[in-house]
């Protein structure tokens, strides 16, 4: 029996085809007539008198047939023969899918889920299975599981912590149904929270699966679902000697203004309590300053009677993240130029942080440790100032290379004798270039060198624009080493206006970075350190491609930290220690969202409309298992054949001189 996948194509085909056929049937055909002169022949309206010669009628019929075949083609025809029911055929299978995302932990959703699921299990004679899904398809009881066992298992379900993903369920659901089921029905019980369902896309109709949705956690009052307050963010930062600031952001998802309390709990005791009044759909910051103590963790919680309690508290480490450390290598006999350079750089880098999560701190010990080739010495940035003979004498090239290979960032500046610096760099094979001479000097003070336009699309051109770019371009270089023949592996972030390099840098596979300024960072060589653009320039140049945030790792349940044999996998919100790292696991923020997806949206996303339509036409359950053979190819062949015949038939007849020809439609 022939059926159609897209029966609506017939209506479209008729709507388009009938006017065309009517036009063709009554189209006026003009005879070609060769004539001596058309000088006195004027254009006139041609009477519409349809030709009805036998040839035209046959051609018209052919064209009608061609249209019909094309309409059939567009309607996706297939031949279906009722499949013979096998011995093991089952009338109906029902799969109950239960949402276990964290949002189900509120709004009374889990309790309603158990009631609804139990009703279904007890009230059906069909084969039944249950799948409970959260971030992954966590629990599964296959089709045919004993009803009592199912009731028992469903009664013991609790919500998960990982952010929900309904797509996991849909990708899995087809494999749970048996192949011999004549009718497959999926019943989803969920709160349909937008965060979990907004990206769902699956065509259940292709799998012949009927869908039923049961919404839970919506309550009876209109405002029930929207009554939620949550802790959106918490951070701990230094707040002066022996003190830390616990900084939090609290959000009111409710449709009404809410007054509630935010409490800081340390060591089981409430150390601070603040009342906050937040308008509908707004957030507010709340801060507590507490002394650093022996107790290492604290809890921020909301004293609120909202519908989702899981997002009302957050546990944090009561300590600020460690600062990034930097250090210097210089000649032990420090000259005035190098001292000035060092002071500039120390002040600049220390001021680059925000005194919170991104602080910089000088560590002379760690710098010396590196100099002594102690591998345990941690340093984020090493600045080697006035690179000259002392560097070679101390044999520092190798420890520096090792540091670079381990992911360190190094800045090199030349000594007053530039050629010595150039030799050391070339010998260590850090950069390849030719040193020409040092440009400028006392005679050029009034006519300094300036930075040329930044290369379009480069990192620096993205950073500098407007006033900051103008400040950078006004930088005066009085002296710098002219380098030539720089190899292709070296990035030249800065050039003077004649295209000569003012900054060489090279990235290493480890993430390490080596930067060489061919000028000294003091005012006798350049006024760059005095410029406000200096600090962003310096930070941009030393920024590693895959630089890690200095703050504690903050994970959501289900996420993983670290690689190797023992990675940390977050399961529940809280604070954890793993491999020397202080880790915070937080409640998934998306689960606090109170919006839900409507039933219509769900049905649209899962193509349920098609299924409903089929059912309304009274298709019996046996027809679901029909064998379908597509006839598309056959209709395509027929259409192509008819089109060819039509084209040959109606081709223009070649006119012969002095003989009348007919221009065919």
Q: Which residues bind another protein (CB under 8 A)?
A: 28-47, 49, 655, 657-658, 663
Q: Which is nearer to another protein, 55 or 644 (CB)?
A: 55
Q: Give, in order, the Cα–Cα distances in Å from 23 to each of 9, 29, 523.
A: 21, 12, 88
- E strand or H helix that includes residue 384: strand 381-387
User: Within 10 A of 588 (CB to CB), how many other CB atoms are there?
Assistant: 24
Query: Would you list the DSSP string of 448-511?
Result: -B-B-PPPTTSHHHHH--HHHHHHHHT--BSEEEEEE---TTSEEEEEBTTS-EEEEEEE-TTS
CA dihedral 350, 354, 355, 360 (to 10 degrees): -30
Strand-pair partners of 48: none
Q: Distance (Å, rounded) from C-alpha 572 to C-alpha 310?
A: 11
CB neighbours of residue 132 within 10 Å: 24
Nearer to another protein, 45 or 616 (CB): 45
15 vs 43, which CB is nearer to another protein? 43
Q: Which is nearer to another protein, 27 or 111 (CB)?
A: 27
Place of tokens 């950069």: 431
Q: Residue 101, class by beta-carbon neighbours within 10 Å (0-12 exposed, 13-18 middle, 19+ buried)? A: buried
To another protein, the closest distance from the beta carbon of 50 in angstroms equals 11
Closest by alpha carbon to 107, among 22, 242, 217, 265?
217
Secondary structure (3-state) at 264: strand
Using the minimum distance from each CB to another protein, give the nearer residue, 566 or 654.
Answer: 654
What is the closest distance, in whole angstroms, from the C-beta atom of residue 206 to another protein in the complex? 54
Enter the DSSP assignment of 8.
H
Minimum CB separation of residue 651 from another protein in Å reads 17
CB of 42 to another protein, least distance (A): 5
Residue 429: how many CB atoms within 10 A of its CB?
9
CB 616 within 8 A of CB 609: no
Residue 57: CB atoms within 10 Å = 12
CB of 29 or CB of 397, closer to another protein: 29
Alpha-carbon span 337 to 519, nearest angstrom: 12
Q: Considering the complex, state which of residue 46 and residue 647 has its C-beta at the smaller distance from another protein.
A: 46
> 40 or 443, CB closer to another protein?
40
Q: Which is nearer to another protein, 44 or 489 (CB)?
A: 44
**Cα 39 from Cα 32, distance rounded (Å):** 17
Contact criterion met (CB below 8 Å) for 107 and 308:
yes
Least distance to another protein from the beta carbon of 656, Å? Answer: 12
CB of 50 or CB of 142, closer to another protein: 50
CB nearer to another protein: pick between 510 and 655: 655
State the nearest-atom distance from the C-beta of 27 to another protein, in Å: 11
Q: CB of 20: closest distance to another protein in angstroms?
A: 21
Beta-bridge mates of residue 315: 299
Closest distance to another protein from the beta carbon of 647 (Å): 22
Token code pair at residue 92: 């109906």
CA angle centred on 458, ends 453 and 463, rounded to 5°: 80
CB of 63 to another protein, least distance (A): 22
Cα distances (Å, whole numbers) of residue 15 to 22, 60, 332, 646:
12, 18, 92, 22
d(CA 10, CA 68): 9
Distances (CA, A) of 634 to 78, 431, 641, 642: 10, 69, 11, 12
Which two structure tokens, joined as six digits, stand for 346?
């120390």
Q: How far apart are CA 496 and CA 486, in angstroms?
A: 15
Taking the complex as a whole, how short is the minimal distance between the CB of residue 649 and another protein, in angstroms?
A: 20
In angstroms, the CA 491 to CA 331 distance is 28
Q: Please, which residue, 332 or 658, has the CB nearer to another protein?
A: 658
Chain centroid to CA 200: how far? 16
Between 53 and 658, CB nearer to another protein: 658
């Amino acid at each position: 029996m022939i059926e159609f996948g897209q029966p609506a194509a017939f209506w479209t085909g008729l709507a388009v085809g009938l006017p065309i056929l009517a036009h063709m049937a009554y189209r006026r055909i003009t005879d070609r007539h060769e004539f001596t002169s058309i000088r006195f022949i004027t254009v006139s309206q041609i009477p519409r008198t349809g030709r009805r010669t036998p040839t035209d009628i046959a051609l018209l019929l052919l064209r009608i047939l061609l249209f019909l075949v094309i309409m059939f083609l567009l309607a996706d025809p297939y031949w279906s023969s009722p499949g013979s029911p096998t011995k093991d055929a089952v009338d109906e299978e029902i799969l109950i899918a239960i949402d276990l995302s964290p949002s189900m932990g509120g709004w009374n959703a889990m309790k309603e889920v158990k009631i609804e699921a139990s009703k279904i299990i007890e009230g059906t004679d069909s084969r039944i299975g249950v799948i409970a899904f959260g971030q992954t398809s966590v629990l599964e009881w296959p089709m045919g599981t004993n009803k009592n066992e199912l009731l028992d298992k469903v009664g013991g379900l609790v919500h998960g912590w990982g952010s929900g993903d309904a797509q996991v369920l849909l990708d899995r659901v087809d494999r749970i149904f048996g192949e011999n089921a004549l009718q497959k029905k999926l019943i989803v019980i969920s709160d349909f929270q937008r965060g979990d369902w907004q990206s769902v896309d699956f065509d259940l109709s292709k799998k012949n699966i009927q869908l039923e949705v049961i919404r839970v956690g919506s309550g009876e009052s209109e405002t029930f679902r929207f009554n939620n307050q949550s802790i959106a963010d918490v951070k701990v930062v230094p707040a002066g000697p022996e003190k830390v600031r616990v900084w939090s952001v609290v959000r009111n998802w409710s449709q009404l203004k809410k007054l509630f309390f935010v409490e800081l709990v340390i060591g089981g005791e409430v150390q601070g309590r603040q009342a906050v009044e937040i308008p509908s759909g707004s957030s507010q910051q709340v801060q507590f300053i507490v002394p650093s103590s022996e107790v290492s963790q604290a809890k921020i919680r909301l004293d609120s009677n909202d519908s989702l309690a899981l997002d009302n508290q957050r546990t944090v480490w009561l300590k600020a993240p460690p600062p990034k450390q930097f250090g210097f290598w210089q000649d032990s006999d420090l000259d005035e130029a190098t001292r000035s350079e060092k002071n500039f750089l120390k002040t600049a880098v220390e001021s680059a942080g925000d005194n919170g999560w991104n602080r910089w701190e000088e560590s002379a010990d760690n710098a010396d440790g590196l100099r002594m080739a102690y591998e345990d010495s941690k340093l984020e940035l090493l600045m080697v100032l006035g690179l000259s003979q002392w560097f070679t004498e101390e044999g520092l090239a190798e420890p520096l290379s090792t540091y670079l290979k381990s992911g360190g960032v190094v800045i090199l500046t030349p000594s007053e004798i530039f050629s010595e610096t150039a030799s050391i760099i070339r010998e260590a094979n850090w950069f390849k270039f030719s040193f020409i001479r040092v440009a400028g000097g006392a005679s050029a003070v009034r006519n300094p060198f300036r930075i040329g336009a930044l290369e379009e699309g480069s990192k620096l051109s993205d950073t500098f624009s407007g006033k900051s770019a103008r400040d950078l371009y006004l930088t005066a270089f009085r002296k710098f080493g002219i380098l030539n023949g720089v190899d292709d592996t070296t990035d030249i972030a800065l050039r003077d206006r004649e295209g000569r390099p003012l900054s060489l840098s090279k990235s290493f596979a480890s993430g390490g970075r080596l930067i060489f300024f061919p000028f000294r960072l003091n005012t006798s060589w350049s006024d760059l350190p005095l410029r406000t653009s200096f600090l962003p320039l310096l930070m941009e140049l030393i920024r590693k491609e895959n630089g890690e945030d200095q703050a504690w790792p903050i994970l959501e349940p289900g996420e993983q930290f670290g690689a190797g044999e023992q990675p940390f996998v977050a399961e529940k919100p809280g604070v954890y220690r793993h491999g020397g790292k202080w880790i915070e696991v937080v409640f998934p923020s998306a689960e606090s969202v109170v919006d839900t997806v409507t039933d219509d949206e769900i049905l649209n996303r899962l193509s349920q409309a098609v299924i409903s339509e089929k059912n309304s036409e009274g298709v019996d359950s046996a027809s679901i298992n029909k064998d379908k053979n597509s006839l598309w190819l056959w209709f395509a062949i027929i259409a192509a054949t008819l089109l060819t015949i039509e084209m040959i038939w109606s081709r223009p007849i070649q006119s012969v001189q002095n003989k009348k020809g007919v221009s065919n439609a």
